[in-house]
Amino acid sequence: MPRFVPDSRPISAQHPIAEFYREEFLKHQRCLQRQRPYYSESAITDVEAALAKIINTLEQLATQDNAPQLIGSLLKQFDVVTGLSSWSDPKHTH
């Protein structure tokens, strides 16, 4: 039976949804790293800085009344750059 190692990052009890969004932004960050050869270094630097800023402020963003719309809009903007939503995992296709 496989053993799972728990994630060492603490999950916020106050805003558990922030952890979900954090993971979504981290997916975009990993996708961006795979695409690094196709973008200029300045473009990568700018997008990485924006991702870091958002990831570091997710707790505050999650407290806003319009958090799902705001964070969803930010995710869509990053998706324009990374194209993450158009990628499919071959393990999850039928």
pLDDT for 54-94, tens place per residue? 999 999 999 999 999 999 999 999 999 999 988 755 554 44
Q: Residue 60: inside a domain, yes or no?
A: yes
Q: Residue 23: inside a domain, yes or no?
A: yes
Q: Residue 21: inside a domain, yes or no?
A: yes
CA–CA gap between residue 58 and residue 18 (Å, rounded):
6
Is the pLDDT at 10 greater than 90, yes or no?
no
Average pLDDT for 40-61: 95
Q: Residue 4: inside a domain, yes or no?
A: no
Q: What share of the chain is helix, strand, coil (3-state, %, to 5)?
A: 70, 0, 30
Average pLDDT for 20-39: 95
User: What angle is formed at CA 93 by the lines to CA 89 and CA 94, rounded to 5 degrees?
Assistant: 170
Considering the chain, what is the average pLDDT of its residues?
A: 83
pLDDT band of 27, cuts 50, 70, 90 = very high
Q: Residue 38: inside a domain, yes or no?
A: yes
- The domain of 52 spans 16-79
Is the pLDDT at 6 greater than 70, yes or no?
no
Q: Residue 22: inside a domain, yes or no?
A: yes
Average pLDDT for 27-36: 95
CA–CA gap between residue 28 and residue 78 (Å, rounded):
7
Domains contained in the chain, number: 1
Burial 28-41 (b: 16+ CB within 10 A, else e): bbebbeeeeeeeee
